[in-house]
Structure 1
Amino acid sequence: MSQSHNAALLVPQTIGFLLLDNFTLISLASAVEPLRMANQLSGKELFRWVTLTRDGAPVSASDGLSITPDAGLERTPELSAVIVCGGVDIQHSVAREHIQWLQAQARLGRHMGGICTGSWVLAKAGLLDGYDCSVHWECLASMQETFPRAAITTRLFSIDRSRYTSSGGTAPLDMMLYLIGREHGRELAAAISEMFIYERIRNEQDHQRVPLKHMLGTNQPKLQEIVALMEANLEEPIDLDELATYVHVSRRQLERLFQKYLNCSPSRYYLKLRLIRARQLLKQTSMSIIEVASVCGFVSTPHFSKCYREYFGIPPRDERAGQQNNVVTLPVVVDELPAPSTALRSLNLAQGEATFASVRL
């Protein structure tokens, strides 16, 4: 997609979606539907899209549904951008023809993207060297090992110059809404979000919640148990010596486990879990900053604000103000607002959302 900030474009942008065997259908739909709705709501043909396969033959999604593409790679129309749609068993879904075609499209100056595990294919083609990129968490470890020159993150999506990559599920929707909002205005992105009954558009600062079991495997039950205790005790943090006692390890063993497998100290990891929960509460509830600080285990609001600013780059007050003034969130009819909830009720609602197992440190 073009990076132009002009609201009106003379020529529609044409996006080519390269479908690989066993691609994830929900990710494709999440990427295409915002384009369709952008055209519908704007009354203009802002975007066109085509589906592509290696030889033009139908391809099956991971759920078994078959898609007949618009063209094969040898008859590709002129494109503004290419987005690779990956899915299950991505390593065995890529052919030499895919790689060569992607490299040729990049040489032509096309913007290149990947959704779900599609970034694995871009990395294999050497098109993510030196770029920040996102991928579905199941593919995270293998990508980090196989493509060390790519800057792989746990973010839901990454925009780095002419590279657009997203994790799976509905994350492509957030990425496309971000791009549409950047190019055609946040009001249009907000209207699309409303049509899809999508309550909050996530941004580049939102991360995937990577299951700790996936990060550690099954060989570190003690560490998993410790992290579970941390996550269950954010309001009143447990002393590290007590944590060690609970899982029958020494304080020194506890620190070694965190350094070896999570690359940080236990206290730092605990702090980040509390800050991430605080950010969830600021963005998703009406709790005051004082209440958020309290339920996340901070003894004073100034200390909370200092830690929050150091980690996220902005103070909690600005985070809350930005969320309230964010035009890409759904407008709420005043008459339909629920009665003000208590801090405890807000906390209980927010606790339904899983915390990060892998913490950006």
Structure 2
Amino acid sequence: MMSIATPANGHYEIGFLLVPGFSQLAFSSALEPLRMANHLVDRRCYTWHLVSRDGAPVSASSGLQTGVDHGFDEDLSLDLVLVCAGVDVQRHCDRDTLRWLRRLAGRRIPLGAVCTGGYVLAQAGLLNGYRCTLHWEHISSIHEARMFPEVTFTSQLFVMDRDRYTCSGGISPLDMMLTLIARQQGLELAEAIAEEFIHERIRDVGDRQRTPLRVRLGHSHPKLEEVATLMEANLQEPLSLDELASYADLSRRQLERLFQRYVDCPPLKYYMDLRLMRARLLLRQTHMPITDVALACGFISPPHFTKCYHDRFGHSPSGERKRRSDRVAEASAQHAEAARPPGEK
């Protein structure tokens, strides 16, 4: 459950700290859902405040400058502050920025981050004992450098751990903010915003970043990457092992040895896992009939799909759908509780 206290009037004040070199895409993906929420309900559910260290405009990684409303010297009453960063984030973890964030934490203001903003929070010591996420490139480098041993980094798209909210960058802030809006204002509004943005499904905290195979392996192997790309492009009509080997100009035995050596599993098992992960995403985020999901992921026989799914995830495809319904019911209950007038039981 989220730990942001619900204001009695259902209105939230959100701060965005813009760090020089921030990602304009990630920032916009976090801000725009708030604007659309206000538009669709025709009232101000959210007010946002842009902040920089000295109150001066900030240049994004693209070079575009964005004006801000406040500097660190102003006292703001906020319900959440999100750190928006991007390239060269290490250069911008200055003493004033870290001190300001620690001061907010001392006032028990929930903190979050988009893109590499989580690095700033970690540098301030504000993610110690928390689970969080960053873009896969930065997670890899942090692990290699053995930085922030008290922080648990995950490969999830976004993480909401108590009063810390982090996401991996790109358009993942959109999913995190839609999840936040669903909890605060109701799932119906969040889904309406997703439709307005032509965002076909709201990804949840269980979804993970698609880390390139070379990153997971710790090195690049062209033939292995080529085969993995072929698998990802042919989920609905899976290729045979002989076809995969032929396309990559390998023998079947060479292909099996490559996967066993570098991925530690047979190629067909890796392929099956890709198909099942895709099926889980469709079951969670669409209303496609289960039979259609099976076909879309290369399973001609529904019983075979059910067996493979249960073996991989510990429950059936219909059980996955029930979990989704339970999440919707939980979000609706939280919305109803938040909308209840103070003192009413």
Q: What is the TM-score of this pair, normalised by structure 2?
A: 0.79
**Structure 2 SS opposite 1:16:** strand
Q: Which sections of structure 2, spanning at least 5 residues, go unmatched?
A: 330-345
Equivalent residue for 1:258? 263
Equivalent residue for 2:336? none
Distance 2:323 2:255 in 1: 43
Structure 1 residues 315 and 130: CA distance shift in structure 2, 3 A: farther
Mean CA deviation greater in 316-325 or 305-314 = 316-325
Q: What letter is aligned with 1:42?
A: V
Q: What letter is aligned with 2:56?
A: A
Equivalent residue for 1:304? 305
Q: Say whether residues 1:75 and 2:74 are aligned partners.
A: yes
Equivalent residue for 1:334? none
Q: What letter is aligned with 1:155?
A: Q
2:30 and 2:173 in contact (8 A); partners too: yes
Displacement after TM superposition at 1:256 (Å): 2.1
Q: Say whether residues 1:201 and 2:202 are aligned partners.
A: yes
1:293 and 1:299 in contact (8 A); partners too: yes
Distance 1:247 1:59 in 2: 54
Structure 1 residues 193 and 222: CA distance shift in structure 2, 3 A: closer
Displacement after TM superposition at 1:139 (Å): 1.9
**Structure 2 SS opposite 1:51:** strand
Equivalent residue for 1:188? 189
Distance 1:249 1:105 in 2: 56
Equivalent residue for 1:52? 51
Q: What letter is aligned with 1:163?
A: R
Distance 1:223 1:65 in 2: 39
1:156 and 1:204 in contact (8 A); partners too: yes
Count of aligned pairs between the two proteins? 323
Equivalent residue for 1:111? 110
Q: What letter is aligned with 2:38?
A: N
Equivalent residue for 2:338? none
Equivalent residue for 1:127? 126
2:182 and 2:190 in contact (8 A); partners too: yes
The aligned runs of 1:178-327 (5 Å cut-off) are 178-216=179-217, 219-232=220-233, 234=235, 235-236=237-238, 238-239=240-241, 243=245, 245-246=250-251, 249=254, 251-252=256-257, 254-259=259-264, 266-282=267-283, 288-290=289-291, 292-293=293-294, 296-298=297-299, 300-312=301-313, 314-319=315-320
Q: What letter is aligned with 1:156?
A: L
Distance 1:285 1:193 in 2: 13
Identity %: 47
Mean CA deviation greater in 216-225 or 111-120 = 216-225
For each residue in 1:20-73, what CA deviation from the matched residue of structure 2 results, as whole angstroms up to 9, or x when unmatched? Answer: 111011221221222223233334433222111112222101111111221111
**Structure 1 SS opposite 2:73:** helix
Displacement after TM superposition at 1:79 (Å): 1.9
Structure 1 residues 78 and 284: CA distance shift in structure 2, 3 A: closer
Distance 1:16 1:281 in 2: 34
The aligned runs of 1:142-181 (5 Å cut-off) are 142-145=141-144, 146-181=147-182
Equivalent residue for 2:332? none
**Structure 2 SS opposite 1:159:** strand
Distance 2:197 2:325 in 1: 20
For each residue in 1:182-237, what CA deviation from the matched residue of structure 2 results, as whole angstroms up to 9, or x when unmatched? Answer: 11111222333344343322222332223334444664224323423443554446
Distance 2:328 2:56 in 1: 42
Structure 1 residues 82 and 265: CA distance shift in structure 2, 3 A: farther
Displacement after TM superposition at 1:281 (Å): 5.0
Equivalent residue for 1:358? none
Mean CA deviation greater in 312-321 or 138-147 = 312-321
**Structure 1 SS opposite 2:159:** strand
Q: What is the TM-score of this pair, normalised by structure 1?
A: 0.75
Equivalent residue for 2:341? none
1:53 and 1:71 in contact (8 A); partners too: yes
Distance 1:118 1:108 in 2: 20
Distance 2:221 2:241 in 1: 21
Equivalent residue for 2:31? 32
Mean CA deviation greater in 138-147 or 318-327 = 318-327
